Amino acid sequence: MTTVAEALTEATTERAPTKPPKLNSAAFKEVPQVRAVRDSIRAAVEKFCKTVDKSKPLTRESTKEMAEAVLKPLGLGESCLGFTMVMLTNEFWREQVAAIPFHRRLMLLPHCLKNAEGCPAEYDELGLDCKKCGACEVGDFRTKAEELGYKVLVSEGTPIVLKIIVSGHIDAIVGVACLNVLEKAFDKVLLAGIPCIATPLLSSNCKNTSVDNDWVFESISLHTPVPGAKTKTYVHLMRAANAMFEEPELTRLVPKARQTPATAVAGREVKDPLARHESIAYDFLARGGKRSRPFMTLATYDALKGAPATLSDSGWELPDAAKRAAIAIETFHKASLVHDDIEDDDAYRYGVETLHRVHGVGTAINLGDYLIGLGYRCVSRDRKSLGAETAADILDKLADAHIKLSEGQGAELLWRDAKNKALTTLDALKIYALKTSPAFEAALYTGVRLAGEATSYEKMIADFSRNVGVAFQILNDIKDWVGDDDNKLVSGQDVLAARPTLLLALALEGSSPALREELLHLIASARNAGTDADEIVARVRHLYFAAKVFEKADKLVDKFRAKAESLADEVQPTEFRELLYYLVDSVLEKPELPRQGVVQFVELGK
């Protein structure tokens, strides 16, 4: 007979999720303050998880439904939901974490556990460099974990964890974090199928917090030599997408044409200019980035081949031609970044100076052009192994994406340089549909076409990519006002660069004629020399809040996301459908909406 847990798991994995459940965020962050309650939830979760299918990663929705099923018989309600979801994911992964050698695990600790007053530790690029002085649990946990062979970081933030996982040195995470941080990590870490166990901090105060120490020590020491059930994971594909850009693999897959060594002239080493140009292009291709587009291609190809790469020990190798096609997708992306940086005169990319700042605008334009050519050649040179028709179809889609991306960028630049800054939401959405979506479409299509016939998927891929890409652009708009971890740290940069954002369009449409005029004037003067950038950003921010643009944009993200998910609902086989759900969840990571407090401060200060 099917148990409740089996039925739930089956229902939530087979049925297509519509939207990520809206969690009452205040409730999500509440940890039961009585230890007996925490123990009872954990015991109930352990019992519940015995029958849960562990072959597929958890989804946010399935975890929430299971948490509700656990809490009901205990007579506990929504206030314990977030905590119970963490307990569930811990139990789901416990066996698999225990089977991973200690030296392949990362211990992640929060700096807010430290003794805030007397801590002698300092911060470096990896986080807090704990001196293990013994004044707080951070040192105790670190000592124990390092004795066993763990790598330990006293840091927060999903990007650094993902980077470490994708680099291939770590296979599991054992952590301590507040529910606030754990909620943010949910989509990126858990849905990717990364084994992890987290002990929640008892509060989210960010200062002198505490935790159930015995639970942390227990999670650090978990060890079993017998591997448990293996959950499907995208980590191997993320690693494959990353490894293609590391030397010597990159040069093996895409051999360099210019091997001329440097020659000595009058005692100085002079490198052949052609080889130098090529090596700058290869360096830039290898540098930084999330590799999300090549991942999409490889994962799509894999999904349509039965998803063997999602199993850790399948021994399945992705063909080189598929890897090269995925590299092609990245070369177009990288070329667009070089050209974008010139167009916006950005100073930094991946934490170092942009190519045009280092080598000059002319050379940088040329490097971008070179990368585009390299991308096309990555596919055309494999036409024999791929089959001429397959290669031609992929090249056609790449060319199509190239044209659409240029159209989107061109429309944006023309608007930026125009005197009239009028903009409708339709105008903004049209541009958005041409910005990220074509690259997503090309990446997915290439994966499908590499695996076989693509005709029956073509429309779905275009529609899915458009909805995900537009939602992604709107999220970028919102992130610009809260700052993010990627390249923008100062809010309001889109205003100063005079970008035609959806937020601006919503504000223009939702403001009185007088405020609309003021907004148009502010945007038109944002790039003028001598204007006070802080003042302009603060005033635009105020007008955006007055027009409620952040809430409106947030609702639009939900709408485009729901459309993408409903398109995925119909997709067969299951492996491809699950990948599309994963892409929606991982690409459309929502930031917290900007808060209005800063505006009040600005107004008071005026």
Instruction: List residues near ligand SF4 by CB under 6 A.
Output: 114-115, 119-121, 130-136, 138-139
Is residue 326 within 8 Å of 297, Cβ to Cβ? yes
Q: Identify which of residues 4 and 116 has a Cβ nearer to ligand SF4 in the complex.
A: 116
Distance in Å, CB of 199 to ligand SF4, minimum:
17
Distance in Å, CB of 118 to ligand SF4, minimum:
6
Token code pair at residue 569:
């609902």
Distance in Å, CB of 131 to ligand SF4, minimum:
4
Distance in Å, CB of 207 to ligand SF4, minimum:
13
**Phi/psi-derived region of residue 530, left when phi > 0, alpha when psi is between -120 and 50, beta in every other case:** left
Distance from C-alpha of 437 to C-alpha of 462, rounded to nearest angstrom: 8
Distance in Å, CB of 37 to ligand SF4, minimum:
28
Is residue 319 within 8 Å of 447, Cβ to Cβ? no
- Alpha helices, DSSP H only, in 345-432? 355-359, 361-380, 383-386, 388-417, 425-432
Distance in Å, CB of 123 to ligand SF4, minimum:
11
Q: Identify which of residues 57 and 139 has a Cβ nearer to ligand SF4 in the complex.
A: 139
Distance from C-alpha of 198 to C-alpha of 106, rounded to nearest angstrom: 12
- Contacts of 519-528 with CB under 8 Å at 24 or more apart are 519/543, 520/421, 520/422, 522/495, 523/421, 523/495, 523/498, 524/419, 524/421, 524/498, 526/495, 526/496, 526/497, 526/498, 527/416, 527/496, 527/497, 527/498
Distance in Å, CB of 214 to ligand SF4, minimum:
18
Q: Identify which of residues 110 and 294 has a Cβ nearer to ligand SF4 in the complex.
A: 110
Q: Which of 89, 38, 50, 51 is nearest to 67 (CA)?
A: 89
Q: Identify which of residues 151 and 188 has a Cβ nearer to ligand SF4 in the complex.
A: 151
Q: Which segments of 291-384 are extended strands (E)? A: 348-349, 352-353
Distance in Å, CB of 386 to ligand SF4, minimum:
55
Distance from C-alpha of 6 to C-alpha of 14, rounded to nearest angstrom: 12
Is residue 113 within 8 Å of 136, Cβ to Cβ? yes
Q: Identify which of residues 121 and 299 has a Cβ nearer to ligand SF4 in the complex.
A: 121
Please give the distance of CA 34 from its chain centroid, rounded to a whole number. 35
Q: Identify which of residues 134 and 410 has a Cβ nearer to ligand SF4 in the complex.
A: 134
Which residue is associated with the tokens 């590299």? 327
Distance in Å, CB of 511 to ligand SF4, minimum:
49
Distance in Å, CB of 132 to ligand SF4, minimum:
5
Q: Identify which of residues 128 and 405 has a Cβ nearer to ligand SF4 in the complex.
A: 128
Distance from C-alpha of 408 to C-alpha of 398, rounded to nearest angstrom: 15
Enclosing H/E stretch for 40 = helix 35-49
Is residue 187 within 8 Å of 586, Cβ to Cβ? yes
Question: Which residue in the shown chain puts its C-beta closest to ligand SF4?
Answer: 139
Q: Identify which of residues 114 and 236 has a Cβ nearer to ligand SF4 in the complex.
A: 114
Q: Which of 345, 296, 110 is nearest to 208 (CA)?
A: 110
Q: Identify which of residues 139 and 500 has a Cβ nearer to ligand SF4 in the complex.
A: 139
Distance in Å, CB of 255 to ligand SF4, minimum:
49
Is the bond into 573 cis (omega within 30 degrees of 0)?
Answer: yes
Distance in Å, CB of 141 to ligand SF4, minimum:
9
Q: Identify which of residues 142 and 449 has a Cβ nearer to ligand SF4 in the complex.
A: 142
Distance from C-alpha of 487 to C-alpha of 352, rounded to nearest angstrom: 11
Q: Which segments of 55-195 are extended strands (E)? A: 105-109, 122-124, 127-129, 151-154, 172-177
Q: Identify which of residues 120 and 373 has a Cβ nearer to ligand SF4 in the complex.
A: 120
